[in-house]
Amino acid sequence: MNTFGEDEGDLPVSLTLAVEEHIEEQISLCSSLEKIADSLPEDFDPRMCMLAAKSIYPVFKGAHDFEENVLFPYLAKKDGDRETLQQIFDRLHAEHWEDESFGEEVSEALIDLVNGEQDNPEKLGYMLRGFFEGVKRHIAFEREHLLPLISK
Ligand SMILES: [Fe+2]
């Protein structure tokens, strides 16, 4: 608690920093996935693939849980256009669900690649690009429509 009787964790600046940290983690993972996609079919680094495969779930689930359990409720309590906000939450929630499900497929495909069980590396390349490009669009939308609302 600070002198205003607010929980420090809920201060706009702390929230913005926490959101930015989650975004950085996701973007960094997207960069690894892009490097892997560029290295296919033969020049991939198995260690990088395994690390990325194991990071997908915790990184994205952590970011999504933070947004849905901390950020969305914080924004919902503020004054604003509730209908628009609800539309934004619904869209982001659906995208989180899609990314988690797609992310699981990507992880499995990367593990198959490392284990020599990936018989279509070209398809994996498309899959990786489809995944990280979708994540980047999602994050761009959040940066444009959600982050400015924190300090409003
Ligand atoms: Fe999100």
As a three-state string, the secondary structure of the chain is CCCCCCCHHHCHHHHHHHHHHHHHHHHHHHHHHHHHHHHCCCCCCHHHHHHHHHHHHHHHHHHHHHHHHHHHHHHHHCCCCHHHHHHHHHHHHHHHHHHHHHHHHHHHHHHHHHCCCCCCHHHHHHHHHHHHHHHHHHHHHHHHHCHHHHCC
Report whether pLDDT(6) > 70.
Answer: no
Cα–Cα distances in angstroms (integers) from residue 90 to residues 97, 105, 148, in the given order: 11, 23, 18
Report whether pLDDT(22) > 70.
Answer: yes
Report whether pLDDT(116) > 70.
Answer: yes
pLDDT digits (tens, 9 = 90+) for 50-92: 999 999 999 999 999 999 999 999 999 987 788 999 999 999 9
What's the 98 CA to ligand 1 centre distance in angstroms? Answer: 11
How many Å apart are CA 19 and CA 63, to the nearest integer? 8
What's the 67 CA to ligand 1 centre distance in angstroms? Answer: 6
Average pLDDT over residues 4-33: 83
Report whether pLDDT(2) > 50.
Answer: no
Q: Which tokens is 142 given?
A: 């959040």
Model confidence, pTM: 0.88
Cα–Cα distances in angstroms (integers) from residue 60 to residues 28, 95, 103, 123, in the given order: 12, 11, 8, 23
What's the 41 CA to ligand 1 centre distance in angstroms? Answer: 30
What's the 94 CA to ligand 1 centre distance in angstroms? Answer: 10
Domains, the chain, ordered by start = 8-150 (1.20.120.520)
- Alpha carbon 6 to its chain's center: 28
Please, which pLDDT band fits residue 123 given cuts at 50, 70 and 90? Answer: very high
